[in-house]
Amino acid sequence: MYFYEYLFVRTSIFWLLFAGTLGFLFYLEPALLGPWRSVHVHAGVVGFFLNLVFGVAYWMMPRPGQIKQPGLEATTFWTLNLGLSLRVVVEPFPEVFGPAYRDLLALAAFLQLVAMFIFAFAMHRRVVTNEMLWRLRKEREKRQRE
């Protein structure tokens, strides 16, 4: 497992614990539910689930020709988690951020969306059929003979 794959999985555990703690606090203090509900959902879905999926997919997906994409992995990790962290900090406090509130939330959503597109682009190169693998192997062998 490479560094960013490791970071994705470790970060997913952090967001799982964060979302679980918020859920427990909602039980203790139901008034928190209003401003923190969306943060709780995003921490669970984006923080835990997407980080785990991205990390495991980068690690496990077939890598024809041993394709490694450390730049794409790093960019996906940082844009996803910066966007989520920005959302967690901004969303419960609209009065603190005033007129910039909606712009900051839009930036957070944009960063998360960019991470998803980068991931989709990276997976496009990695997800292949058996036939494609055989074709790539034959092409590689042909180049080695030349």
Secondary structure (3-state) at 6: helix
| Residues 94-105: b if buried by 16+ CB within 10 A, e if exposed | eeeeeeeeeebb
Per the listing, tokens 């890598």 go with: 63
Cβ atoms of residues 58 and 4 within 8 Å = yes
The residue ranges of every structural domain in the chain are: 3-145
Distance, CA of 97 to CA of 108 (rounded, Å): 14
Secondary structure (3-state) at 128: coil
Per-residue pLDDT of the chain (146 residues; tens, 9 = 90+): 789 999 999 999 999 999 999 999 999 999 989 889 999 999 999 999 999 999 999 998 866 656 778 899 999 999 999 999 999 999 999 999 999 999 999 999 999 999 999 999 999 878 777 787 788 788 888 999 98
Distance, CA of 21 to CA of 132 (rounded, Å): 45
